[in-house]
Amino acid sequence: LENMMKKVGLIKLKIEYHDLEIELEKILQSSFPKPEDIHKIIQLFKEDLTKNNLGMKSHLKDNKIYFYFPISIIVGNKI
């Protein structure tokens, strides 16, 4: 993304990284996965609670599965 910004002429790039905490059940409700895939997705995250294979820092909070979704924000000035 940084290279793309530079190619279109942006300078003085400022880059910020954030982790957005999301509850798994809520994101599944809003993303409309195939019904037959819901259990598979939940199982992947349950297994990830101790392994972090997904790299999303899955964790339990109030007996619900949460994870962090990485976000990058890049801002620059046009030449």
- Residue (of 53, 58, 79) closest to 68 by Cα position: 58
Q: Report the distance separating Cα 72 and Cα 60, nearest Å.
A: 24
Q: What is the pLDDT of residues 10-39, one digit of tens each?
A: 999 999 999 999 999 999 999 988 999 999
Q: What is the mean pLDDT of residues 33-50?
A: 93
- Global pTM reads 0.74
pLDDT exceeds 80 at position 79: no
